[in-house]
């Protein structure tokens, strides 16, 4: 191999490495999770969405999927209704907030008050 071919191969390998690292960084940025807690203002079980109003008054529309983990309530959000206090862990995908986990903390709050 001549020097120019070795240089071309080295440049190609460097480019491929940078492309792979850049792609992984973008994919990892999509998996950032957020956590909110508040009261459920509205639930649409057919559309699998809920609106959660946080203490600062912000309303978040959260979607859930078959992969969403549920704690303190029935599967698929059947125990969630308006006025339920929840803690939601979600990711943002395509502009939508998709729940990773939902916990009904109304019962925890009631126990702490007693």
Distance CA 42, CA 50 (A): 6
Homologous superfamily assigned to 33-113: Copper binding periplasmic protein CusF (2.40.50.320)
- Look at 4 and 41; give whichever has higher pLDDT: 41
Mean pLDDT of 22-37: 72
- The pLDDT tens digits of the residues spanning 45-104 come to 899 999 999 999 999 999 999 999 988 877 677 878 899 999 999 999 888 999 999 999
* Stretch (H or E) spanning 110: helix 106-113
Window from 9-18, 72-81, 100-109 with minimum mean pLDDT: 9-18
Average pLDDT over residues 16-43: 76
């Amino acid at each position: 191999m001549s020097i120019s071919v070795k240089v071309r191969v080295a440049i190609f390998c460097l480019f491929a490495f940078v492309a792979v690292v850049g792609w992984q960084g973008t994919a990892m940025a999509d998996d950032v999770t957020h956590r909110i807690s508040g009261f459920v203002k509205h639930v649409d079980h057919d559309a699998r969405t809920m609106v959660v109003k946080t203490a600062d008054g912000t309303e978040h529309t959260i979607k859930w999927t078959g992969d969403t983990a549920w704690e303190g309530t029935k599967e698929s959000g059947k125990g969630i209704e308006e006025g339920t206090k929840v803690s939601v862990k979600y990711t943002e995908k395509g502009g939508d907030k998709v729940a990773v986990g939902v916990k009904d903390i109304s019962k925890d709050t009631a126990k702490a008050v007693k």
